[in-house]
Amino acid sequence: MRYGLKLVGGLLSCLFALEIAVAGLPQSLGAEALPSLAPMLETTMPSVVNIATSGTVVERSPLFKDPFFQHFFNTPEMQRERRRTGLGSGVILDAEKGYIVTNHHVIEHADDILVTLSDGRKFSAQIVGVDPRADLAVIQIKAKKLSAIPLADSSKLRVGDFVVAIGNPFGLGQTVTSGIVSALGRSGLGIEDYEDFIQTDASINPGNSGGALVNLRGELIGINTAIVGPNGGSVGIGFAIAINMARDITAQLIEFGGVKRGYIGFRVQNISRELAQAFALEDHNGVVVTQVSKGSPAQRAGLRMGDVITGVNQVKVKDATDVRNQIGVSRVGQTLKIDLLRDNKTRRIEAEIIERSVPKRQGEDFVRQLSGAEFALIEEPRRELKGETVILLSAVDENTAAASWGLNQGDIIRAINKITVRDFEQMEAAIATSNRGMLLNIERDKRMLYILIR
């Protein structure tokens, strides 16, 4: 019994001591600094701005887009102007010159751009340069006491790294969300022509576009640009343009107002496991050369069909998108270093990037009914057929024959008289088959239609 009382007394003493220790836990933690992102954000958030845009959009009735309606009824076109506003974010790249990077779609069609800084100051901005194909733009404000953000090397990111997204979601004002890097090198999503996305689960919502994705040191690793989710809401899948790509493009936007993309002259395809076995490769990273254009820089450098490209400019490539992106961010006149495998031996060749000219022809060169139209050969816009060419209506003068038939600038000529055409020689041959009329199959605003020209 005595031993039982001692045991009970001992337990009570222990419990009492534990209660004191637990009660004292918050006091002991209160003397220590709690983990927080606040110090980093205090220096980083002034580099992120809110962007508000407004512009006038001209709306046309769908009936007036129909060439049959235009041709048979000859009704004067009625247009209506509508004021359009938008919200987004941006990141200050150069504090002295006031350069700010954002997404092209944030400032597209904008007549007025208003930038609001984190301290509440507001400034009108001017467009310096845009690159719709990579969805990037640089704007400029005239302001003092700006804070530029330091840039990281996005090639050193790893899946699982902690990241923070800063932007202006839904126009609420500057907002911070956190997450991790979910995936790297995302491409083939159909969002832009040139894609090298960081995927993150940090909440990104409408209005975050153009904002900053930073690491825990407050360094810029990406420009937030897109989300995947129902009704445009965040479900934990967001994408940011890797800063290494954005840095190269914005440098050209500041210098030239656009991106001068060059030409090398070869085509490639991804290496499947079966192809890797056929080429006796250890893995299926890299791409195989399927075509080298005659007289191109690639041919002059010694590139051959069947070569396996493993790296470009000392950056390893795993698929065709990597090669396309490396060429896409390189400048005209720059030497491209291509690492490859040929006959199980490693080689390096160097090819100079040249400016690619766009072949053009005037409509009257083909037939008088097309006078007033200018045609250009461009790269096929459909992602699965990249590398092929198509015939684009690059310009149409009003009050000319081409315009009277309902042809619009931006139309893509897919077929003439039911004959597929992809270059000017095929176009001439198809027109030659015309008897009383010429039937054009065109693509406009991603839909197909026919235009009959008599």
Here the tokens at position 308 are 């396996």
The rounded distance, in Å, linking the Cα atoms of 129 and 136 is 9
**β partners of residue 176:** 166
**β partners of residue 373:** 396
Residues contacting 24, CB < 8 A, separation 6+: none
Here the tokens at position 232 are 């445009």
The rounded distance, in Å, linking the Cα atoms of 437 and 454 is 4
Question: How many other C-beta atoms are found inside a 10 Å radius of the C-beta of residue 398?
Answer: 8
- Pair 72, 108: CB distance under 8 Å: no
Residues contacting 277, CB < 8 A, separation 6+: none
Residues with catalytic function:
105, 135, 209
3-state secondary structure of 401: helix
Q: Closest Cα partner for 167 from 238, 245, 109, 252?
A: 238
The rounded distance, in Å, linking the Cα atoms of 108 and 18 is 64
**β partners of residue 452:** 439
**β partners of residue 164:** 178, 214
What is the phi/psi pair of residue 110, to 5°? -85, 130
